[in-house]
A and B are shown apart, each in its own frame.
Chain A
Amino acid sequence: MKSKIKVYNDNHKADSTVEIHKASSADDNSMQRTTKPWAVMLVLFCTIIMSFSQILWKIGSASLGLDIFKALADLPLVFGFLLYGLCAVLLIFALRGGDLSTLYPVLALSFVLTNLLAWLILGEDINLFKWIGIFSIVAGISFIGIGSRNSHHIKNRGEAGLP
């Protein structure tokens, strides 16, 4: 637990706000130990927004050249980027509820959602390869979820055994 507190402070040497909360950092550590369900839900929500933004890019980039002014006038593209930015802001809050290496890969579901949306909105079909890919990604994210629970479990047990 000590080393974790050290990392926490190392990353925020210049942050006065964090210094104030130093005293409660032991609490924060126990908060961070497991991935919070609400954090996963928020990342899932981000994923939905991200998929829509990718569909908008795809619609927008159809007429896109390397002309910046033309790109700025391209409404689907601009709206897609705004949604992407919103996604980043929501991620800040979501990442409060768990490890980066656990929560960030959940965003890979955007591959799955983008395909489903492309099927519903753009009329692209989903073939066997895509189904295998979708299955593999969903299984991979489950593995990460199970893996994160396991690592915390082992870590906690290890700490309990320490003097």
Chain B
Amino acid sequence: MSMFAVLLVLLSSVGNGAGSVFLKKLSFKKTNNILSLLLNRTFILGITIYATAAVLYVIALKYGDISVLYPIAATQYIWVCIFAVRFFREKINILKWSGIIMIIAGAVFIGLGL
């Protein structure tokens, strides 16, 4: 059952990363009309992925050990960076990568303390 929870959180963190790609794509739109932003296909797709990821996370927390799940949830920052490079050609230097590693290390420690 624990392996199942790990898989769910991994899926959820990839989903969070993918959802944020849709939000970033939307942020290029110059309109401030909230309704037109919310009824956009990109937003509906993005928020669906985001919500699914959140549901998976909550279910996983129910069945898995949180100290294992926290660091896996933190891998979403790796996925976001990979997606940002792939889809928006953002530059990520060694300082940024080490920041990401430190965030994941932090999640490991918080998980150990729980």
Residues of A within 8 A of B (CB): 3-4, 7-8, 11-12, 15, 17-18, 21, 57-58, 61, 64, 66, 77, 81, 84-85, 88-89, 91-96, 99-102, 104-105, 108, 111, 115, 126-148, 150-151, 154-155
Contacts and interface: CB of A to CB of B under 8 A. Distances in A.
A105 B110 contact: no
B74 interface: yes
Contacts, number: 179
Interface in B8-44: 19-21, 23-31, 34, 37-38, 43
14 contacts: A57-B61, A85-B47, A85-B51, A89-B34, A96-B27, A99-B84, A100-B90, A111-B106, A132-B106, A137-B103, A140-B101, A141-B99, A144-B95, A155-B91
Contacts of B113: 126-133
B93 A115 contact: no
Contacts of A135: 106
Contacts of A18: 28-30
Given A95-B27, A108-B74, A102 B110 contact: no
Contacts of A115: 110
Given A57-B58, A64-B58, A101-B81, 14 more contacts: A61-B61, A85-B50, A92-B23, A92-B27, A105-B77, A108-B103, A132-B106, A133-B109, A136-B106, A139-B102, A140-B98, A140-B101, A147-B96, A151-B96
Contact of B109 (A129, A142, A146): A129
Q: Secondary structure at chain A's binding surface: helix, strand, loop or mixed?
A: helix
A132 B107 CA distance: 10
A92 B88 CA distance: 15
Given A101-B92, A134-B110, A11 B87 contact: yes
A158 B59 CA distance: 48
Contacts of A108: 74, 77, 103, 106-107
A18 B31 CA distance: 10
Nearest to A25: B28
B54 interface: yes
Contacts of B21: 100
Given A4-B89, A101-B92, A144-B96, A88 B46 contact: yes
Nearest first, the 6 A-B pairs at minimum CB distance are: A147-B95, A140-B102, A129-B113, A133-B109, A143-B99, A137-B106
A70 to B, nearest CB: 13
A151 B25 CA distance: 22
A88 B91 contact: no
A147 B34 contact: no
Contact of A136 (B61, B62, B109): B109
